[in-house]
Structure formats: C-alpha cells, structure tokens
A and B are shown apart, each in its own frame.
Chain A
C-alpha cells in the first residue's frame, strides 16, 4: 500500500496580468512548483475574461507545506488590499512524494 501525505494546495483565480508577479512571489518564498490553467467566468465586477485571448483569467495552483503558507498568504493579502481582484482558496490534498514539495523551483 502506497503511503499518502497531507499537504495544502493554494488556488488563486486572477487575471493573467498578475501571472508574472505571482510567479515571482512563489520563487521568492521557495515554493516547489506551480501550475497555471486558463479560466473564464463572471463575478461581482462583471465578466472576468473576454475570451478573445486579450483579457484572460487564470487559475494558479501550488502545493506546499502548511508551514510555508502563511508568508505567501500575507503577500497575497497585500495585493488584494491594493485593489487587485484575486479569489484565493486552500484545499487539503494528499500526495505520494512529500519531499518534492519541500524543494524550491529551479
């Protein structure tokens, strides 16, 4: 039987213009990796994406140990306080290679 280890997954829905800044933040705080997928939808501030390839939304996902989460959430909160529209939620996930998530990108 393969062992499973508990980790946290950070999910961020935002406009793709923020992608570079989020990636920079992940690297700064030693996140092991991230995945970005295109998204579309609608929210309180209207339609989020034009679906024309110009104003796209993305979902950014990163798995990381809970101990590293706080500092990243504080950085995200600063972005939200500046007015950026980010929807952030954290989910519990189970992984089979916990060591992988203790390393940094690179």
Chain B
C-alpha cells in the first residue's frame, strides 16, 4: 500500500476529524451538515453518472444490476451465518448487523472514486447503478432473517402465536418497511439524479459543471471531516462490542471486497478501476439507509452494535486500508 493513497486530501480530512474528536477539540459541525453534504454528493455523482450512462451499453448495465442484486441478497446471509457461528450475538443482532453489510456506504464509494481520480485510473460508470441497486435488498434480507429468528425464539420459549389482528398489523408494517427500503432518501436522490443526468439537455449539463465537478472534492473533504468526528465518537463504544464483533467489522469487508472485486473483474469484465469499485460496494457497510430501517423493524437488536461496527470500525477501515487493498486486488485479478 503506497503512502500516496493515505495522503489523499479527503482521507487526511477524515483523519483530522478523528484527531479533533480524540483531542476533545470544541470543533462542532451544524447538526444536519453530514446529511446535507451527502445529498449534494449523491446528487453530483448521480448527475455525472447518468450523463455517462446515457452513452453506455444497456446490456452491461442490466448485467450490473443483476450482479448488484445477487451481492445485495447473498452478502447479508453470509454475514448472518458468520455472526451466528461466533455465538457472541443473538440472532436478532446478527440479522440487523448483517443487513448493514449487505447494503452499501456511499461515503466509502465516493472516497474510492476520489482515490481513483487522484491516481488517474479510469473506471466504468456501471458501479454507480450498482450503488443505487444495492442500497435496499439487504434491508429486505435483514427483515426476513429477523422474522425467522423471532419465530424460532417464540417457538422455543412457547410464546403464543400472534392473533389475526396482530398478524394483519405485522403484515402492514412489513409492507411499509419494504416500501421504505426501496424509497429511502439516498435511493431517490441517486436514481433521480441519474435519470436527470441521462435525459437533460447536454448544454444545460455543461452549465452545471462547476456544481457537479469543480467543488465535488472540496465537499467530499468536508463530508469526511464530519464523518471522521462521528466515527471517532463510535470508537469509544469499541469495548462494548467486544473483540469478536470488532474482528467481524474488519473480516466481513475483506470477504465482501474479495467477492466484489471478483464479480467486477471476472463476471462483469470491468477494468481495474471498475472492479475495485465493485469491491468497495461489496466491502462497505451502510450507515444511512439501514440503521433507521433496522431500528423500526428489529427493535430487539442493539443499535450500538451495528452503528459502532459500520461507522466506528468498517468505515474507517475501508477508507484508510480497504480502498488501496481492493485496488491492489483488482490489479491482480484483472491482470
């Protein structure tokens, strides 16, 4: 891993955020800043990607969607089985945590793009569609795994089955969750911006260039600065999650990263840059879309576990160590 990958301004600002928190600086960002910045980042990358995708091969785009769905549905199951095998968490916690690892982190993905741009490595735009597609399936898998775990706990403890009234409420709640999973803010901003980018008049898009291109890296630095502080706050909870869970927060992204790079390189025939981005999608864990869904759908799970793992361990790991690692792996696999 070269030092230059760590000297990316965005990564350095992430580190500054962590340091500011560790030295107990009084630095504070406005409460909703990360939310505002993430909307901008998704909008900018969506417009950019949509514009490029309009010129792309639809057959490859379709294949990318299929592989995104396969990754989104299988990675949480792998994570769930691994977590249950550790016997360190109950099945509800395992379901909620694994849903985070099947979904994706746009922040990690954008940092990976900044990394590739810095090294002037070309990449396909198809992983962007995969980013949008992979936000939601893991939530559905998490809901199903939690429902199964709840049933087996109820059967084991001899808890009476739900009354028809309760069953109908549970059913309508489940439908509501599914709707929420596929209409969450990140998905709407990203897909909406991609469609606008694809159909908008090119001369109009040219006028947007300063907004979507020139200030993008600066905003990403600000976003990662804030996220560094948020992540450092979670590092304090490290003791609570324990060494086994903390190890999961590092091993699971490595597994997802290897699978992702393999899919990008071998199944989709992407370049080094594109394969690395699919690896990043496989490796990253959600901290925007999935936590609220799991809070609602799996209230029995401890939010401290999944937030500490995705924000305090996996996000910093991917930003600092994972991205250069998946790049190296992509270079090996693509040849």
> Chain A interface (Cβ within 8 Å of chain B)?
15-18, 21, 38, 45-47, 50-56, 79, 82-85
Question: In whole angstroms, what is the CA distance A46 to B179 when docked?
Answer: 29
Is B299 touching A52 in the complex (CB atoms < 8 A)?
no
| Cβ contact of B303, chosen from A16, A21, A46, A53, cutoff 8 A | A46
Tell me what chain A mostly uses at the interface: helix, strand, loop, or mixed.
Answer: loop
Question: In whole angstroms, what is the CA distance A57 to B88 when docked?
Answer: 28
Residues of B close to A50: CB separation below 8 A: 230, 233-234, 307, 311
The 6 A-B pairs with the shortest beta carbon distances in the complex, nearest first, are: A46-B304, A53-B35, A83-B299, A83-B300, A53-B32, A52-B34
| Cβ contact of B31, chosen from A38, A47, A79, cutoff 8 A | A38
Q: Which residue of A lies closest to B36 (CB)?
A: A53
| Cβ contact of A47, chosen from B32, B233, B295, B300, cutoff 8 A | B233
Question: In whole angstroms, what is the CA distance A52 to B38 when docked?
Answer: 11
Is B240 touching A52 in the complex (CB atoms < 8 A)?
no
> Chain B interface (Cβ within 8 Å of chain A)?
31-36, 92, 226-227, 230, 233-234, 237, 240, 287-288, 291-292, 295-296, 298-304, 307-308, 311
| Cβ contact of B295, chosen from A17, A51, A52, A53, cutoff 8 A | A17
Residues of A close to B92: CB separation below 8 A: 83
Is B233 touching A17 in the complex (CB atoms < 8 A)?
no
Residues of A close to B287: CB separation below 8 A: 54
Is A45 touching B31 in the complex (CB atoms < 8 A)?
no
Residues of B close to A79: CB separation below 8 A: 299
Question: In whole angstroms, what is the CA distance A21 to B287 when docked?
Answer: 22
| Cβ contact of A52, chosen from B35, B300, B302, cutoff 8 A | B35
Tell me what chain B mostly uses at the interface: helix, strand, loop, or mixed.
Answer: helix
Q: Other CB < 8 Å A-B pairs besides A55-B307, A83-B300, 6 of them?
A: A21-B296, A46-B237, A53-B32, A53-B34, A56-B31, A83-B92
| Cβ contact of B302, chosen from A16, A45, A54, A82, cutoff 8 A | A45
Residues of B close to A16: CB separation below 8 A: 292
Is B237 touching A47 in the complex (CB atoms < 8 A)?
yes
Contact A52-B230, Cβ < 8 Å, known A18-B296, A82-B299, A83-B300: yes
Q: Which residue of A lies closest to B37 (CB)?
A: A53
A83 to chain B, nearest CB (A): 4
| Cβ contact of A54, chosen from B291, B299, B300, cutoff 8 A | B291
Is A55 touching B300 in the complex (CB atoms < 8 A)?
no
Question: In whole angstroms, what is the CA distance A79 to B296 when docked?
Answer: 10
A44 to chain B, nearest CB (A): 10
Show 24 residue pairs from A and B whose CB-CB distance is below 8 angstroms, ordered by the A residue.
Answer: A16-B292, A18-B295, A18-B296, A38-B31, A45-B302, A46-B240, A46-B304, A47-B233, A47-B234, A47-B237, A47-B304, A50-B311, A51-B230, A52-B33, A52-B230, A54-B288, A54-B292, A55-B291, A55-B303, A55-B307, A82-B299, A83-B298, A83-B299, A85-B303
| Cβ contact of A17, chosen from B33, B237, B296, cutoff 8 A | B296
B219 to chain A, nearest CB (A): 15
A67 to chain B, nearest CB (A): 25
Question: In whole angstroms, what is the CA distance A101 to B296 when docked?
Answer: 30
Residues of A close to B308: CB separation below 8 A: 46
Residues of B close to A55: CB separation below 8 A: 291-292, 303, 307
Is B304 touching A51 in the complex (CB atoms < 8 A)?
no
Is A54 touching B303 in the complex (CB atoms < 8 A)?
no
Among A16, A21, A51, A52, residue most surrounded by chain B Cβ atoms (within 10 Å): A52
Question: In whole angstroms, what is the CA distance A6 to B233 when docked?
Answer: 43
Q: Which residue of A lies closest to B298 (CB)?
A: A83
A92 to chain B, nearest CB (A): 30
Residues of B close to A18: CB separation below 8 A: 295-296
Residues of A close to B300: CB separation below 8 A: 82-83
Question: In whole angstroms, what is the CA distance A55 to B35 when docked?
Answer: 10
Question: In whole angstroms, what is the CA distance A54 to B311 when docked?
Answer: 11
Question: In whole angstroms, what is the CA distance A85 to B294 when docked?
Answer: 13
A43 to chain B, nearest CB (A): 10
